[in-house]
Amino acid sequence: MADVLVLDQIRKSYNVGTPVETEVLHGIDLTMRPGEFVALMGPSGSGKSTLLNIVGLLDRPTSGRLLINGEDTTDLPDKALTKLRGHTIGFVFQYHYLISAFTAAENVMMPMLVDRGHPDREMERRAAELLDRVGLGRWRDNRATNMSGGQQQRVAIARALAMDPALVLADEPTGNLDTASADAVFELMRQINRERMTTFLVVTHNLDLARRCDRIVEVVDGRLTPGPGLAG
Ligand code: ADP
Ligand code: MG
């Protein structure tokens, strides 16, 4: 099986061509195998979100190569990149970004709707199954706005899985939750990772949670180093 993700000397500058041009990532190498669950750590402002946006095909590197499931994305036009993103990558953010007026089920169906252009029974069936999986089967017709932070984040996880992605990217998914909810949300992602072999790259500041990952990598001054969990 091909590596899910290969980053080869990824560099990223903001404000290119202006007097305030700054390079944030200085040549990142990272390979992730199918089914790996990796924690991405590093101080605030070190470039974690920048890196996640590049891996998630939301932004392009200034230079370097990025392969997803063995496919080199470097020269793909925007349209092909968008399609690849929709079919291979799921996102979970710190502030879930659910549509608050939509029900849990409608939120989970969004990626499928965007892909197919029209609703169908299969989408409803899949949304129900995913909400069951994250323990919210009975909540599917509730509006997101009426759910707790932990519940909303579980809806976001179900939504991230809607297209059965090879890779889920989570940017501080538990950063906004109390300790117990954070633990439950993290454990849910870990279980899904084991059941489905879905690969996860999770940004966290929580070393206790990071230590439960297969591996920790850390962005320090725009470079990637083996994280603190690997010491000793
Ligand atoms: P982290 O997620 O590790 O906190 P970020 O990737 O958000 O770090 O930011 C890394 C650096 O890049 C910071 O100095 C930030 O100010 C800068 N930065 C992030 N996004 C932009 C942008 N769109 N334009 C210019 N600078 C940015
Ligand atoms: Mg960030």
Taking only the tens place, the pLDDT of each residue in 182-229 is 999 999 999 999 999 999 999 999 999 999 999 999 999 899 998 775
Report CA(225)–ligand 1 centroid distance (Å): 19
Pick the ligand that lies closest to the CA of residue 222.
1
- Report pLDDT for 155: 96
Express each pLDDT in 169-193 by its tens digit.
999 999 989 999 999 999 999 999 9
47 CB near ligand 1 (under 6 Å): yes
d(CA 127, CA 5): 27
Q: Please provide the average confidence, as pLDDT, over all residues in the chain.
A: 94
Per-residue burial over 203-216, b = 16 or more CB atoms within 10 Å of its CB, e = otherwise: bbebeebbeebbbb
Express each pLDDT in 98-140 by its tens digit.
999 999 999 999 999 998 888 899 999 999 999 999 999 999 9
**For ligand 1, atom 10: residue with the closest CA:** 47
Q: How many CB atoms lie within 10 A of CB 9?
A: 13
d(CA 51, CA 20): 20
Report CA(43)–ligand 2 centroid distance (Å): 9
d(CA 125, CA 123): 5
- CA separation (Å) from 87 to 11, 16, 69, 91? 25, 30, 11, 12
Atom of ligand 1 nearest to the CA of 171: 2
204 CB near ligand 1 (under 6 Å): no
Report CA(148)–ligand 1 centroid distance (Å): 29
Express each pLDDT in 36-86 by its tens digit.
999 999 999 999 999 999 999 999 999 999 999 999 999 999 999 999 999
Which one, of 106, 173, 178, 112, lies nearest residue 145 by Cα?
106
- Report pLDDT for 231: 44
